[in-house]
C-alpha cells in the first residue's frame, strides 16, 4: 500500500532552505520520504499526532533532531507535507 506525497509550494521552499542548511541530511531525508510514501506507519518514522494549534497534523522523524510535519488524508491515500526542520522549528511554525 503506497501513498502519494503532495509537495506544496510552501513546503518546497522550506525543504530547499532545509537542504541548504543541512546538506549532511540529504540521504536520511530522502530515505524518510521514501519510507513515508511506502508505509507512513513504519516504526522507524515514529509517526505521532500533534497537539494544540498543530492538532490537524502528524509528525515523522528524519532523525532524533529533525522532523517533517504532515497532514495525512487516509481515505485518498495522500500525504501533504507541511514543514521540515528541527524539532523546535516545526512545532513552533503552526
Residue 73, strand partner residues: 78
Q: Output the nine-digit C-alpha cell for 15.
A: 525543504
Residue range 21-62, pLDDT digits in tens: 999 999 999 999 999 999 999 999 999 999 998 898 999 999
Number of structural domains (the chain) is 1
Average pLDDT over residues 54-83: 88
42 phi and psi angles, rounded to 5 deg: -60, 135
Average pLDDT over residues 63-67: 92
**Pick from 84, 81, 82, 92: nearest CA to 68:** 84
Structural domain boundaries, residue 45: 4-92
CATH number where 26 lies: 3.30.2310.20
The pLDDT assigned to 89 comes to: 81
Q: Output the nine-digit C-alpha cell for 71.
A: 497532514
Q: Output the nine-digit C-alpha cell for 49.
A: 499526532
Q: What is the mean pLDDT of the chain?
A: 90
The one-character DSSP state at 4 is E
Amino acid at each position: 500500500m503506497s501513498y502519494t506525497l503532495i509537495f506544496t509550494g510552501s513546503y518546497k521552499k522550506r525543504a530547499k532552505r532545509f537542504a541548504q542548511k543541512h546538506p549532511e541530511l540529504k540521504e536520511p531525508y530522502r530515505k524518510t520520504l521514501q519510507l513515508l510514501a511506502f508505509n507512513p506507519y513504519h516504526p522507524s518514522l515514529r509517526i505521532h499526532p500533534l497537539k494544540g494549534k498543530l492538532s490537524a497534523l502528524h509528525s515523522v522523524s528524519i532523525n532524533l533532531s529533525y522532523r517533517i510535519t504532515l497532514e495525512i488524508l487516509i481515505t485518498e491515500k495522500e500525504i501533504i507535507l507541511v514543514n521540515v526542520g528541527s524539532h523546535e522549528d516545526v512545532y513552533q511554525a503552526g
